[in-house]
Amino acid sequence: MGNSADWEAVVPDPDSANDAAADRLLGGFESSFVIPSFDDNDSPYLNRELSWLAFNARVLALAKDPNVPLLERVRFLSIYSSNLDEFFQVRVAGLKDQVAGEVALRGPDGRTPVEQLRAVTDAVRRLTFDKQQIFKELVRPGLVANGIVVRKVSQLDQADVDYLDELFRERIFPVLTPLAIDPGHPFPYISDLSLNLAVVLRDSNTGRQLFARVKIPNSFPRLLALPSVEEPHFVLLEDVISHHLDALFLGMEIESQQFFRVTRNADLTYEEEEAEDLLFAVEMELRRRRFGRAIRLEVSGEVDEQIQGLLLDELDLAPEDVFVEETLLDMTGLAEIVDIDRPDLRYPAWTAVTPPALQPKADERVNMFARLSEGDILVHHPYESFTVSVGELIHQASVDAHVLAIKMTLYRTSGDSPLIDALVRAAESGKQVAVLIELKARFDEQANIGWARRLEQAGVHVAYGLIGLKIHSKTIMIVRDEGKKIRRYCHIGTGNYNHRTARLYEDFGLLTADQQIGDDLANLFNQLTGYGRDVDYQRILVAPDQLRPALRDLIREEAAHGADGRIIMKMNSLVDPELISQLYEAAEVGVQIDLIVRGICGLRPGYSGQDNIRVRSIVGRFLEHSRVYFFANGKGTGEPAYFIGSADLMPRNLNRRIEVLTHVDEPALQSKIDVVLDVLLDDDQLAWILHADGSWRRQSEGVGSNAHELFQHLALAEAFEGR
């Protein structure tokens, strides 16, 4: 039993083997180019959870796309698995809570929590089967054919076995803690997402059957390199431990063993109204998260019914909560393979360019304040550099003697953020620095608590957000004394202030010295750190007060133009029933609507027979993350209106978060957005099209226009011309 992944597949011809495997996988759900609908309702609204699973299926499809480099396909398997873990930790956990609470309220699509949970479970089982087939028939043979092999200990020669024996004895064995399970030793706590080994033992003296659990430590790499060969050959850590179980249970007969993994409810729940100290409340909930209720049990290989029964009883789970992995348990560990030094098996390296507006002249460093005084700059990441734009703006502000204050919102950032260093430096030099840190950014709570404490120690004014609202906006305001006047320099973006994810996430950022935007952000920051209401903003739309009614008015205004109306929206998720209903109404009077939705889409194109709404999803090398809203006729102006910002069209964004969209008014910057939208709408390689039945279909079979590659070429060409 145990982890049954068999890497010793015979691959006589890598190309023909993969072609044959791909042929076997084509057709129905297994096709690389069709994802049949998980949602068989006839409601005007597609189910949120099933739509998210369809998004993860599009990620999974990249793992079997022969046009994607091999190690990138491994990465997408890992990303798919990590995504699914979080989905269970939060969304499935929420459904189970509703079922336990006997909540019978139907969602917009008409399903009860029980019905949603049943549909989700069925869809995940279909996805799990497809994932296993991709790994077994496509990815694993491809790795073996390229000399990347994970062997079983039983398949190794004596030199490698001796090496692993010593490694186990000297380094691994001292870390392991076998835990007995009997009346004197209660069932141990199984931590969230940990890899474990359940063991059935027999006492050779008494004949008594015993149970034990061994946690696979995460202090070692999951894949242990074998030194006997030059090519990357590995053995799984858990296989080494399994092979040496007799050293952990001396004098015992090992009857069977089973690898397993438990997923727990990881959503935080706290009463903000009753929390005198939000920082303390979040810290307490983080501790409780470790002990969240079990949601899912994954087991590998042939199921040991005795072990499974014990685990289900102790974890208070039902048989339908069990997912059997026939290949490799916890494919998030495959991420370690991606780091192998094989650039020929990855996407070509990409380094973001310096946009023409920020290129230095005569080898002199660009003065960001002087440059922004000349006009706005719109940067498009990861094609244009985050470091030389946003990073440089914050750096220069931190050391500029004329800068009086820096204010920003911080939702997520990296573990080694140069922005944090710059803010600390600015505060220590006497500048007024205020940072609104969102402590409730899911799965980044602990990191944000750490940043908050470091900033406070440096003298930064730190605010932890508002009761009942998450601060999700991406905003910076720098106040500078320029002699005759005080001037504000601002950034409003669609993505987080994270220099690492800015290399992978597609986002827009507006850098500006516009006085109206400066006034707007000054009012916003004052409202967030102090008190205020009914603020009249000039160039920005702020949720939860202004954004929903403003979008509603913009859609209605476009509908008033009938067939001359045109709406393009790009976002991560479209769920809000009210705005979906308004888009339906606009389409019915002839408005042409294109929606570019990376993830969840609750709108069903073609509903009621109309075909004026088209929905596509771009999934590829870079994570589409920007939010862009275009209305051809604006709000009663007759001029097109362009907005970028942080908000998706979900009830949480519109009702329970601080979000900011900003107008983009300069024609040159509008043209830049036009180019991006046109490229995305013309893409016929990365694009998936949503159909009325809820299915998704690839535009082509890997030939044609690839938006991400075209954006790279455009960025390079523009950077070269700017020199």
From the list 307, 343, 13, the residue with the least C-alpha distance to 145 is 13
Neighbours of 611 (CB within 10 A): 9
At 481, which amino acid appears?
D
What is the dihedral sign for C-alpha 364, 370, 372, 373?
A: negative
408's tokens:
């920003």
Distance CA 83, CA 88 (A): 9
At 682, which amino acid appears?
D
282's tokens:
């979040």
Q: For 266-391, where are the E strands, in sequence order? A: 294-300, 322-325, 377-381
Could you tell me which residues are beta bridge partners of residue 461?
Answer: 434
Distance CA 558, CA 568 (A): 11
Neighbours of 414 (CB within 10 A): 16
From the list 669, 667, 666, 698, the residue with the least C-alpha distance to 685 is 698
Distance CA 376, CA 357 (A): 9
Please state the φ and ψ torsions of residue 225, each to the nearest 5 degrees.
-75, 140
Q: For 452-603, where are the E strands, in sequence order? A: 461-463, 470-471, 475-481, 486-493, 505-512, 540-543, 566-571, 592-597
If residue 57 lies in a helix (H) or strand (E), which one and from where to where? helix 48-62
> Which one is catalytic: 243, 395, 472, 625?
472
* Residue 648 Cα distances to 58, 446, 587, 651, 701, angstroms: 20, 25, 20, 9, 30
Q: Cis bond leading into 382, ω under 30°? A: yes
Q: Is 461 a catalytic residue?
A: no
Residue 11 neighbours by CB under 8 Å, 6+ apart: 17, 141, 144, 145
At 665, which amino acid appears?
D
Tally the C-alpha atoms within 13 A of residue 641's C-alpha that lie toward its C-beta. 25
What three-state secondary structure class fits 345? helix
Distance CA 687, CA 674 (A): 18
Contact 306, 210 (CB under 8 A): no
Residues marked as catalytic: 472
